[in-house]
Structures are given as C-alpha cells and as structure tokens.
C-alpha cells in the first residue's frame, strides 16, 4: 500500500473544511463557535439610532397641526392614519426634507459602514492565524441561524437588528462570490440552540441565565467545554464570549452535521 508523504498529508490538512457556527445577538453582531465575538458595539449603536429617530419623529409631530394625527399618538381611532398624519402635513409645508431626511440618510450611512466594517473584520479573522485558530489557507464552512425561523421582530429595535444581520449575510455572500474566498455558507433552524445542552441534548429555558449556562439535567456548564477552557488561558476576561451565546454557536455548528432539528428533550 502507498503511504502518503508528509507533504501530501500536510496539504490535505490545509484543504480540510472547518465548521464554524455563528449565533447573532442583540448586543453583539455575532458569537462564533471558536470564541470570537464580532461587533460588540452593535447594541450601543442601535440604541443610539433608535433614540435619535424617536427625537426626530417627536420634533416633526410638534410642527403639525392638532387635526393632523401623529403616527401613533393623538390618534383617536388607535391606528395609524396614513392620510392625515404629521408626515404628510409637514411634506406640504416643505419642512420635512431639510431635517428628517438628512438624519435618516446619516443613519443609513452609519448602518452601511458598520455592516461593511464588521464583515471585513470577520473575513480578516477567518483568513489568518490567531489564538482562536489557524485559518490561513483553510476552507471555512459557516453555519448561521436562518432568519426565516426567528421569532424576533416584535418591536422596532429587533426589526432594525434583524435587517442589519440580513445585510451582513448578503454582504458576506457577495464578497465570497466576487473574490472567490474559501468560504461556504449554510443556514439551519436555530430553534432551542440557546436552551439545549450540548452534552445530553436536554432543552429548558432555565438552562441559560444572564450570560451563563448550566444544564438542569446533567449539570453541564460552559467551563467544562475544552475550547472555552483554552480561551480563558489566552485572552482577557473582557474578550471572552458570553457563555449562553457560546453554547448556542456550538449547537448551531453541530446542528448541520450531527443533530437533526427534531431531536430535543424536554423536562
């Protein structure tokens, strides 16, 4: 039998595919299964945008006459009045274009810059060798949670966050195709990934706490994860991923290869 040389085995290991799971959050853009956290300033940025948008709408409402209803307030029918609202009234007065739309353009530009910056940072991380892993000249298979199954979007802040993640997905796919990057992207149903124990597959809401994880069935904690133990030795505590998001990203990664969507255990 032919025994492969060391060079050929080294080449095979370099070309092997690495599975990386990604869990998006409300405070950070993405927590990956290797422990890398992307876009930690996302939550602060979205809260700032939401606050400034509310102030802009409130300013427009003060300029409109009483008979012109606001988008939600001052509406006696408890629903939006698209004919006699403050935006249409200010549009007639020609004082909406100079302030509100300029602010919205600045907001959209800020979101676009954040999206491109985070995607570029993600590409740089997974195309180089760092303490998180050796990814240079390796094929990376990303496993993300599909937004089709997400139950988010109940308020404006969550909708704004989902749209941002959708834009990041689209930007990553465009860059991968245009620059022929060694990336592959798959999407899976993320149901119960943040509540499921990766050791015994037990599912319960109480498994996760405020940034922590402990299985009520077998007692598994994130500190027992070999990957998390290695991260604690090489990176500062403030750069460690949240425990529950780290577990979710690991479950998302494993869901593609080993764990079917229907496999879950309840109390």
Confidence of residue 199 (pLDDT cuts 50, 70, 90): confident
pLDDT of residue 163: 84
- Greatest mean pLDDT among 8-12, 30-34, 206-210 lies in 30-34
* Mean pLDDT across 53-73: 62
Confidence of residue 189 (pLDDT cuts 50, 70, 90): confident
Query: Can you tell me the distance from the alpha carbon of 165 to that of 259, in angstroms, rounded to the nearest whole number?
Result: 25
Query: Can you tell me the distance from the alpha carbon of 195 to that of 263, in angstroms, rounded to the nearest whole number?
Result: 13
Does residue 89 have a pLDDT over 50? yes
pLDDT tens digits for 169-185? 999 999 999 999 899 99
Percent with pLDDT over 90 in the chain: 25
pLDDT of residue 188: 86
Residues across the chain:
267
- At 116 the three-state DSSP class reads helix
pLDDT of residue 27: 81
Confidence of residue 5 (pLDDT cuts 50, 70, 90): very low
Does residue 96 have a pLDDT over 70? no
Query: Can you tell me the distance from the alpha carbon of 34 to that of 131, in angstroms, rounded to the nearest whole number?
Result: 10
pLDDT of residue 154: 66
Pairing outcome for strands 30-32 and 37-38? antiparallel
Query: Can you tell me the distance from the alpha carbon of 236 to that of 90, in angstroms, rounded to the nearest whole number?
Result: 52
Query: Can you tell me the distance from the alpha carbon of 180 to that of 172, in angstroms, rounded to the nearest whole number?
Result: 11
pLDDT of residue 2: 38
Say which range, 1-10, 62-71, 168-177, 196-205, has the weakest mean pLDDT: 1-10
* Mean pLDDT across 194-213: 87
Say which range, 19-23, 188-192, 227-231, 237-241, has the weakest mean pLDDT: 188-192
Does residue 121 have a pLDDT over 70? yes
Residue 9 to residues 6, 73, 164, 174, 183, Cα–Cα distance (Å): 5, 68, 41, 32, 22
Confidence of residue 9 (pLDDT cuts 50, 70, 90): very low
Question: Looking at per-residue confidence, does 88 or 41 come out higher?
Answer: 41
Say which range, 62-66, 103-107, 194-198, 241-245, has the weakest mean pLDDT: 62-66
Does residue 83 have a pLDDT over 80? no
Does residue 243 have a pLDDT over 70? yes
Longest dimension (CA), the chain: 89
- Greatest mean pLDDT among 9-18, 74-83, 140-149 lies in 140-149
């Amino acid at each position: 039998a032919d025994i492969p040389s060391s060079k050929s085995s080294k080449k095979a290991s370099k070309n092997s595919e690495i599975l990386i799971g990604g869990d998006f959050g409300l405070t950070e853009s993405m927590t990956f299964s290797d422990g890398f956290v992307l876009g930690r300033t996302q939550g602060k940025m979205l809260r700032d945008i939401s606050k400034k948008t509310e102030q802009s709408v409130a300013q427009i409402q003060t300029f409109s006459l009483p008979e012109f209803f606001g988008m939600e307030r001052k509406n006696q029918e408890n629903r939006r009045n698209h004919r006699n609202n403050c935006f249409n009234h200010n549009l007639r007065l020609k004082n909406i274009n100079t302030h509100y739309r300029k602010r919205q353009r600045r907001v959209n530009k800020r979101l676009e810059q954040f999206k491109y910056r985070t995607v570029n940072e993600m590409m740089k991380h997974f195309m180089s060798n760092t303490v998180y892993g050796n990814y240079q000249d390796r094929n990376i298979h990303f496993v993300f949670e599909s937004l089709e199954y997400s139950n988010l979007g109940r308020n404006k802040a969550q909708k704004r966050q989902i749209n941002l993640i959708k834009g990041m997905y689209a930007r990553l796919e465009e860059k991968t195709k245009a620059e022929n990057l060694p990336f592959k992207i798959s999407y899976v149903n993320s149901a119960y990934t943040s509540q499921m124990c990766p050791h015994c597959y037990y599912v319960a809401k109480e498994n996760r706490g405020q940034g922590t994880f402990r299985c009520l069935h077998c007692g598994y904690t994130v500190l027992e994860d070999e990957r998390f133990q290695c991260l604690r030795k090489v990176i500062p505590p403030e750069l460690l991923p949240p425990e529950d998001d780290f577990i979710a990203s690991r479950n998302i990664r494993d869901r593609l290869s080993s764990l079917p969507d229907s496999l879950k255990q309840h109390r």
